[in-house]
């Protein structure tokens, strides 16, 4: 008798879980955020990036482009942002650290 009740209970659970599955809300998977501990040098690069690279357009995410894509973009944007080679190397290091 006890096992029959358990069986019924188990079936009820199965039926219930199947029934509710259909109404389950869509699971929104958040984009994974890469948390990288920045060294002071990389933090300086981030600072330069944040302050110089969103004047004409939105601040792009490092992961919006590949390392190969970034190279020519940074060459073009250095001229636009009027940054020297040291500042640009710092920005470039920061972006690489986020990829
Ligand atoms: C004087 C304005 C200006 C500044 C400052 C500037 N950009 Fe841009 N950026 C543009 C324009 C205009 C475009 C779109 C045309 C182009 O790609 O040349 C662009 C496009 C981009 C793109 C997209 C490129 C693509 O191929 O889709 C990236 C990424 C970018 N900029 C990064 C940067 C970074 C990093 C800096 C800082 C070093 C920066 N920008 C500073 C004007 C600027």
Question: What average pLDDT score do residues 2-25 get?
Answer: 56
Q: With bands split at pLDDT 50, 70 and 90, how would you rate the model's confidence at 4? A: low
Residue nearest to atom 12 of ligand 1 (CA): 56
CA of 79 to the centre of ligand 1 (A): 10
11 pLDDT more than 50: no
Q: With bands split at pLDDT 50, 70 and 90, how would you rate the model's confidence at 26? A: confident
Of 18 and 78, more confident: 78
Q: How far is CA 56 from the centre of its chain?
A: 23
The dihedral sign for the CA sequence 81, 86, 76, 64:
negative
Residues in the chain: 99
47-98 residue pLDDT tens: 999 999 999 999 999 999 999 999 999 999 999 999 999 999 999 999 999 9
Q: Which of 59, 67, 73, 95 to mutate to test the pocket of ligand 1 (most atoms within 8 A of CB)?
A: 73
pLDDT of 5 reads 54
pLDDT of 99 reads 95
Residue bearing tokens 């973009």: 73
């Amino acid at each position: 008798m006890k096992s029959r009740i358990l069986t019924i209970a188990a079936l009820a659970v199965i039926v219930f879980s199947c029934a509710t599955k259909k109404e389950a809300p869509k699971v929104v998977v958040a984009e994974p955020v890469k948390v990288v501990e920045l060294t002071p040098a990389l933090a300086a690069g981030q600072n330069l990036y944040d302050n110089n690279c969103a004047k004409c357009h939105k601040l792009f995410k490092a992961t919006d482009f590949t390392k190969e894509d970034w190279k020519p973009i940074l060459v073009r944007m250095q001229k636009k942002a009027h940054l020297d080679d040291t500042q640009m190397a710092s920005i470039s290091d920061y972006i690489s650290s986020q990829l």
